[in-house]
Amino acid sequence: NCDDALVSPLPSAAFTSSSELFSTHSPSFAKLNRRDGAGGWSPLESNEQQWLQVDLGDRVEIVAVATQGRYGSSDWVTGYALMFSDTGRNWKQYRQDDAVWVFTGNSNADSVVHHKLLHSMKARFLRFIPLKWNVGGRIGLRVEVFGCSYKSDIADFDGRSSLLYRFNQKLMSTFKDVVSLKFKSMQGDGVLFHGEGQRGDYITLELQKGKLSLHLNLGDSNLHFSNSHTSVTLGSLLDDQHWHSVLIERFNKQVNFTVDKHTQHFRTKGDSDHLDIDYELSFGGIPVPGKPGTFQRKNFHGCIENLYYNGVNIIDLAKR
């Protein structure tokens, strides 16, 4: 049921734009099916540097968009792109099939063209970027956005803090692990989670110079360390203050490591099939300097959302 009209209830102050032709063509008149002012938004110049921005008031899930031209005119947009943001300062382009997606717009002023998004967006701010428009007129736009409020569990980390998940037993020995989370980082380096055992086993996920690295060691450090340590790196420029999704699935030595829909399948080295972790996992940093490994570690500075370890909601558990 995530299909509420999100734009129609908004106040005029929620709309801004790159420019406006006249006050009667201001962005506040860009609501779908409305005829206020001159019947929609038109910028001062019709070129690809123009944009219409909507502040949805809070972070929401966006599942569809719809557009019209300016009421009773020859002004409509035939193709446009979307950009979204949590802050209104850092923007990300909506993409499909690993490319910036161009939406088909209108062929007249008043018919509504509706697009359901292949991938929903979670954002507070949305920008419509006109790319093509009616050759016999100007850019003209009325819009609606469909979706619902977005509720999630988020933990903020300041580069000095961390969350601890303590086991109800001294040793946790697992043949299968599943870790999922979303993160938004202010810096290019920092530990997202870490666990280690006294026998030398460890698992660490950390940002290193804007890339995400997964370090795994299965087995006795004295006997197998040179053979059992595995490091895999995915992504780049992940410290862009946008949300990125991570999924780690390990079954014995087989691991699937996914970052933003890009998956690396690999097999860990070593003789052991199980991961032995003592006492606890830490998220956002390592409270006490860890023993194994030689890579440099910094605490994470940013936000982690919807953090699950083997089905346990870590953030919700911490809030209790």
The pLDDT value given to residue 228: 61
**H helices within the chain, ranges in order?**
221-228, 314-319
Q: How many CA atoms lie within 13 A of 96 on its CB side?
A: 11
Answer whether 180's CB lies under 8 Å from 308's CB: yes
Q: What is the pLDDT of residue 259?
A: 96
In the chain, which residues fall in CATH 2.60.120.260? 4-149
Q: What is the pLDDT of residue 278?
A: 87
CA 46 to chain centre: 31
**What one-letter code names the amino acid at 201?**
D
SS3 147: strand
Q: Is the pLDDT of residue 161 over 80?
A: yes
Average pLDDT, the chain: 91
- The residue length of the chain stands at 320
Res 51: pLDDT? 98
CATH number corresponding to 154-319: 2.60.120.200
Q: What CATH homologous superfamily does 4-149 map to?
A: Galactose-binding domain-like (2.60.120.260)
Chain CA centroid to CA 66, Å = 23
Give the chain's end-to-end CA distance (angstroms, integer).
29
Element of type H or E holding 222: helix 221-228
Distances (CA, A) of 127 to 90, 130, 251: 12, 10, 42
Which residue would you say has higher pLDDT here, 127 or 224? 127
Q: What is the pLDDT of residues 201-250, one digit of tens each?
A: 899 999 999 999 999 988 755 544 445 688 999 999 999 989 999 999 99
- Domain limits, CATH 2.60.120.200, in the chain: 154-319
Q: Name the DSSP letter for residue 13.
A: G
